[in-house]
Structures are given as C-alpha cells and as structure tokens.
Structure 1
Amino acid sequence: MSSASPPTPTSPRSPRNIVVIGGGIQATSVAFHISQSKHLPDGSSVTILEAQKLANAASGKGGGFMARSWGDGSPTQTLHELAFDMYEELCPMLGVQSYRKLPVLSVSPGPTAKSRQDNKSKNPSISDIVPNWLDGSVGRLAPMGFGDDTAQVTPREVVERMIEFAAIDVVLGKCVGVDAEVKGEAKAVTGVKYVDKETGEERVLPASDVVVSAGPWSCNAEHWFDGAVSLPMDGVKSTSIVWRPPRDGSPVDATALFCGEDPRYNTHLECYPRPDGTIYLCGIGGSDYISTQQLQNDAFLTDCPPKEDRVEAATASFQMMSHAYQTDGELLQSQACMRPCPPDAKPYMGRIDGYHGAFINAGHNCWGIAWAPACGKAMAELVLEGSCKSVNLNPFNPSRFTAPGSRGGRGRKKKGVSVGEQW
C-alpha cells in the first residue's frame, strides 16, 4: 500500500544492523516483528536503544484498553482492526496473562450520596455486566460493548514477553544523533550515537537502519537528521491511579467503565479492572500540554510526577460510584505519563526523506498501546520488504509538516518514490 523503497546501498539480502530507538510497546513491537520476519537476512541484528528502562513511560503506566470497532472511519481504522485481531493471536503465543476480552459500560454521574446502591437490580437488562464493585451513586448505565470487540492487556507485560520471546538486545542509553554517509543524492545511515546510561560515555551502535519510535520524544529526530523532517508534537501529560485488590481476596468483576463528565470533580473517569484484581483509572482531568521544544529538551523523560490534586479528585469521584472502595479501598500507586500528539492527531509512520535506512514510527496519541501490533507489522514490512502491504501508510507520511525546501533530496521524483502534490 505504500510506495516502493529507494534502493538501499547494500544487497537486499546482506545482513542488516537495525536499531529501534525507544523502549515502549510501539518500539518493542517494531523490533519484535522485524526480528520474526522471514525477510530479515541471516546474520542480521535487531537492537533496542532505550534512554531509561523498558516500558518507562506510557507503556508502563497506560490502561491497555482496545476496541476493534471504535475507529471513526479515518485512515487509522485499519490500525484498530488489525491490531485487535493480532493481540488475540499474539498474547497466547507470548504467554501474556493479562490479555482478556471484557464488556464496557457507559456511566453517568449520580447524585451526591455515599450509601450502598444495588445497581444490578436497578438495571436488570444488563445486570450480568454491571460489576459488583459499582455499588455507589451512579446515573444512567448503558452498554458500550459486551466483550466481543473490546479487550484489555497490561502493556508492560507485552513489552517484556516480546523481548524475551525474540531475544532482542536492549542497550540503555540516550540517543544524541545519527551517523550517515553520502550515497548519491541521499545519505545512508551507518550508526546511532548515544550516551551510555551507566557510564555517561558517548558511543556508536553500528546501524544499516534506524527506526525512531520514542513516543513524544521522537520529535528529537528533527535534530538527529539535520532538519530533513519536521515533527511537531505535543506531549499530553496526564495523571492516573491504580487501586489495590480487595483485602479479602474477593474477585473483581471484569467490566470497564467510561464515565461522563463529573463537574463536582472535573473528571471523566475511565476504569479498567485487571486480572490481578487491581483497578486502573485515568480520565482524571488536569492534563498539561508539553511543547515540541520542551520535549526536545527532555521534559519529563526521567521523572514524570502525578498531580496530587487530581489523585484526590479521582479518588473522590471513584468512591462516589463504588461504596466498596469507599469503605475498604486502598490506593496502590499514583503516576503520570504522556501521550504523543501531532497537530492532526495522526501518527508519523514511514521513511525519513533524503536518507537510506531511516524510518519513524511515533505520535500514536491515546491509541499507541492498542495499535502496537499493527504498527510493528507495518514498519517491519516497510523496513525489510521496501513497502507496506498491511496498512496504507500514505496518510501518516512523516514529511507532511516539512517545508519542501527542507526535505532531503531534490524537489522531484526521487528514485521511485512519488513525491505527491506537495512538490
């Protein structure tokens, strides 16, 4: 579905040294699918370069909800559908225990009341999906899904299982640039420069190909590739909380909640019970928007603290809905992370113009975890086969915000790649 690749400087079957920058579920999925592809030449290497630790940001703190049919008909619809189906096959293969399908309820805020409510009896037509722990004050309940096309997974577990299954090498260090040499009208990637996390020394990973997949911090690639691509990005920094399992060991019913705006607390909670008995909450409100320049200065890369006032608001809002957690609930953790948002809310997926062996896969907004298998598969096809067959990448062109004069190469058709109307 994407244009043919420009010729690479080496034979198609020569060993490749592929470096994926980033350690979240998107980067790991790219590395995993490349490593498992029959098109990866013998003797090749696949390495993840991560600045902090695996699943350090959103992939270690996200809810992990996915919905096959919840796309809006835009070009990302394929990512919803393909990834949902892939998770169902991948998770058993990888031994992921946290994956399961689950129903979803829409919940309107109820009156201010702290007494126990029998919300199952009040909603007999859907009583089988009203969870026992939803026993507080709520308004209208309506089903949004019965578990056929809605599911969840704990993203950190997926990252860990993919790394283990594929035996992918992981290097901890912060990328500071890319080495490249001139090859005709373009440059060819030869290495990735990084500062070793443990020693602080600058080193180089030999690379025939590099895939930038570092979440909101992927906008640093503007500098790594000498301005050949413009990657405007906002980081939306949001707080989330996790509740401990019940003290008495009782099961936690598996129904996710999407709650309406509650003006008392300025929340619109999303509640995801997990198989381990914890309940994850986001939609807490009070998000901060972090600019491209701030991200390029590593804002919140090493430390991303939650907002305590939002933790308190989410706690109060949740306990209004759940008498069980009001009387016997205990927070396990509060945290914050960022989702990466390009101006048009579409991801950057494709080649970086003017370079052989340079790709980007970033900016997946709030669906990065849900789309990860599809994005990994798509990028593996592009890197190893020269074109992507499973997803139409044209709407996600990384150069769509790049001024024509800034792009690599000259303003004409470049070695088989249609440059389109922007030229």
Structure 2
Amino acid sequence: MDTNATSATSDKPEKTIAIIGAGIIGASIAYNLSLHDRRTTIFEQCAPACAASGKSGGFLAKDWCDSSEQKHLARPSFDIHRNYAKELNCDIGYRPIESYSVSLTSCPSRIVRGARRPAPLAWLDGTATVLNGAHRIGTQTTNAQVLPKRLTEALLQRAEERVGSSVVVARVTDVQRTPERDGWQVHSTNKNGTDQIDTFDIVVLAMGPWTIKAKQWFPNLPAIMAHKAASVVIKAKVPPSVLFTEYVNIRGEARSPEAYPRVDEVYLCQSAIAEDLADDPDHIHPSPQDVRDLIAFGEGLSSDIGSAAKKARNVKTQACNLPISPDGLPVIGAVSGTDKSVFVATGHSCWGILNSAATGKAVAELIVRGRSTVNVRAFDPARFGE
C-alpha cells in the first residue's frame, strides 16, 4: 500500500464553493452538498426565498411531467420531497393532497341551468356557477404540497448545521477568473454599499431569471427570460383540494386561475405572462387589476374565502418572476468553457419547487463525483450551442 499517496490525497484542501442565489434551487444544492460534507457560501441580494421561492404555490405532482424530459426530475423529486418531511425534522407544510379540474363562470350570460357542485367539492359555495361538474386529476398518491419558503429556509439551516454553510446577503456584481486562472473571484456589494471580493474554486449559478445578468460573465449561457406571476394569499380555511380551473370572469374573459388550499390559508394565482425582469425581487408587484381579479375568483369559489377577503388584514398580495429557458426546459450542468468549475441550474418555470429536489441532488453529484445518478442529459446548457 502506498501510504504516501493516501496521505497526499487526504491532505488535499477541500474545494471552496460559492452558490449565487438562495432560492429553492440554491438551497437544495447547498443542502445536497452538505450531505457530501461540502460547505458552501451562498450569495443572495435580498434574503433567502425572497423571490419566486417565497411566493409560489408549492404544488407537487409525481407524474404530470411524464410526457416531457422533465419526468427525469419530477419523479425522483416527488419522492425526495416526501422524505424531506421526515428528514428535515421541521414543519415545511408538506401534505398529500387531491387535485381537481373545474369549470366555473361569474359571467351571467354563461350560466347554465342545473349545473351541479360535485360532492368532493361541496365547499364551492361562492358566487360563481360550476359548469359541467369537476374531474379529479390527481390523488394523494401522486399529488402533494409544501410551503416553499419554509422548505427553502429549512434546507439552508440544515446545510449550516451540518457543515457550516452560510448565506451572505449581498448582490454579486461580477465573476472573473483569478489571475492564476485556477479559481473564480466573486465580486459583491452588500446593502451598506461595501464591496468585497472572495475567491472560490467552484461557482454555481442558481439565479432564477436573473441568470440573464450572468451572461456578461459567461457568454455561453442561454438567454433566460422572465415571466411574471401574480398571486394573493387569503386567510381562510377550506378543505384540502387543489383546483385547476377554466374560469370566465364577470367581464366574460376566459382565464385559468388556480387555488391551493393550505392549512389556514388559500393561495390563488393566475397564469404567468412575459414581462421585463425587475432588477430587485422586492420591486415585483401585482397589478391592481390582477389583485381584483384573483379576489373575485376567490369569492366565486367559496363564501368562506369571500368573507375573509373583505378584511384587508386577511389578504396578502404578491408577484414574482419565473425563469424560462429558450426551449422551456431547465438548464442544469457545467457551463461551457469553464473546465467544469462553473455550474448553472435555472429555467425551471412553474415546476421549480417540485424539481428543485432532484436538481439539487444532480448538481451536488456533478460537483463531487463528476457524474449524476439523476438523468440530466436533456438539460445540458451546451444544447443551445452559444
């Protein structure tokens, strides 16, 4: 046995790792790296889960991506989320849940006589009329939900407890090769305006839609777009059935809003639309019309939601930007031209909370082992050929 070789290997310093972005993707990567005894420094310009990860519905579906390459993320992610509920040993709002497809209208000209409210959804006693009943599209075996902000914070906390990973609240302004070209200098500015330069062996870009800003550092990155999603959270208790709806509002406009009942509140959202990226997550707000429409939708669903929404203290309004890649699939892997020392994980669109779990596992394995047990070939950044 060559004891000198063994000693040399054991004395080799551990590689330093920076993660830019403390949303659910960055938190999942940090947590999974902690399972490999790797400590990370996570940079975040505002606070953990301050963007989409703190303002998403948290819906989890095991098999809804089966017709897409995202099935390679969704199926393992669903199982990982179920394990998180026990593994993290804290309340992350996880629970199995059923989901339904429902058609409703608040437009008088669209009301159909004799429309019935299906028994499982008897709580739908709001001002809207249910059309053509409802269809169950997900069971407690294939659907679940989680509170994304709590999960993000729990993952970061466990990474800190396990290996001493830390979150630095500062805006990353530049990433450059070290003069020796053996690492990366991360330039950042905190909220007090103090500039700092830290050097790392490996950099992970988990910046959501703000990955577009990293193209100035790494031109080979694809152009990630931003889609704005508005939502309201209303303090009301209704039975645990997620609703995906086709809804005609009082103006006769067809929409597809969604409702996610939680333990003591209901999360209502509508389809995301393309919009210019805000510089700061704190500057993203829903339009007054979006808020009015979502509250009206809630009133249409349930008298309990409608009553609660009449009190301003029961209503929280918010919006966020979702990251969308040029082909609609996530972007996961090493960035071209960086000798596998820079990795990116973004472009998860509305499935970011679900698919964060397998993404975190995959990126951690790519960093530590150079290969992943999660099939992420379809998400390689090199597919864009930029």
- TM-score band w.r.t. shorter chain: 0.7 to 0.9
Q: CA deviation at 1:321?
A: 2.4
Which residue is 1:238 aligned to?
229
Question: In the aligned structure 1, how far is the partner of 2:116 from the partner of 2:40?
Answer: 55
Q: CA deviation at 1:191?
A: 2.6
Q: For 1:2-44, what per-residue CA distance to the aligned partner results, in whole angstroms no more than 9, with x for missing partners?
A: xxxxxxxx97953121110001101110111011125x4xxxx
Q: 2:46 aligns with which of 31, 44, 52?
A: 52
TM-score by length of 2: 0.87
Is 1:265–1:317's contact at 8 Å kept on the other side of the alignment? Answer: no
Q: CA deviation at 1:111?
A: 5.8
Q: CA deviation at 1:370?
A: 0.8
Which residue is 2:246 aligned to?
260
Q: Secondary structure at the match of 1:355?
A: coil
Question: In the aligned structure 1, how far is the partner of 2:70 from the partner of 2:159?
Answer: 27
Q: CA deviation at 1:109?
A: 1.1
Question: In the aligned structure 2, how far is the partner of 1:170 from the partner of 1:150?
Answer: 32
Q: CA deviation at 1:305?
A: 1.1
Within-5 A mapping of 1:134-213: 134-136=125-127, 137-139=129-131, 140-167=133-160, 168-181=165-178, 187-197=181-191, 199-213=192-206
Which segment is superposed worse, 135-144 or 71-80?
Answer: 135-144
Question: In the aligned structure 2, how far is the partner of 1:312 from the partner of 1:265?
Answer: 14
Which residue is 2:18 aligned to?
19
Q: CA RMSD in A?
A: 2.4
Which residue is 1:279 aligned to?
266
Q: 2:334 aligns with which of 327, 335, 351?
A: 351
Q: What amino acid does structure 2 have at the position aligned with 1:166?
A: A
Q: Larger helix proportion, structure 1 or 2?
A: 2
Query: How has the CA–CA distance of structure 1 residues 327 and 166 changed in structure 2, closer, same or farther, with 3 Å as cutoff?
Result: closer
Q: Secondary structure at the match of 1:29?
A: helix
Q: CA deviation at 1:337?
A: 0.4
Which residue is 1:400 aligned to?
383
Q: What amino acid does structure 1 have at the position aligned with 2:266?
A: I
Unaligned runs of 5+ in 1: 1-9, 114-118, 246-250, 404-423
Question: In the aligned structure 2, how far is the partner of 1:338 from the partner of 1:97?
Answer: 23
Is 1:265–1:314's contact at 8 Å kept on the other side of the alignment? Answer: no
Q: Secondary structure at the match of 1:20?
A: strand
Q: CA deviation at 1:135?
A: 4.9
Question: In the aligned structure 2, how far is the partner of 1:319 from the partner of 1:130?
Answer: 15
Q: What amino acid does structure 2 have at the position aligned with 1:271?
A: A
Q: CA deviation at 1:394?
A: 2.0
Which residue is 2:372 aligned to?
388
Is 1:267–1:313's contact at 8 Å kept on the other side of the alignment? Answer: no
Which residue is 1:220 aligned to?
213
2:286 aligned with 1:301 = no
Is 1:240–1:334's contact at 8 Å kept on the other side of the alignment? Answer: yes
Q: What amino acid does structure 2 have at the position aligned with 1:387?
A: R
Q: For 1:89-109, what per-residue CA distance to the aligned partner results, in whole angstroms no more than 9, with x for missing partners?
A: 012221134000101111101
Q: Could you list the runs of 4 or more consecutive aligned residues of structure 1 that deviate by over 4 angstroms after TM superposition?
A: 10-13, 119-122, 133-136
Within-5 A mapping of 1:93-132: 93-94=87-88, 95-110=90-105, 112=107, 122-123=117-118, 127=119, 129-130=120-121, 132=123
Which residue is 1:68 aligned to?
62
Question: In the aligned structure 1, how far is the partner of 2:125 from the partner of 2:16?
Answer: 52
Q: CA deviation at 1:121?
A: 8.0
Question: In the aligned structure 1, how far is the partner of 2:200 from the partner of 2:345?
Answer: 17
Q: CA deviation at 1:209?
A: 0.5
Query: How has the CA–CA distance of structure 1 residues 75 and 11 changed in structure 2, closer, same or farther, with 3 Å as cutoff?
Result: farther
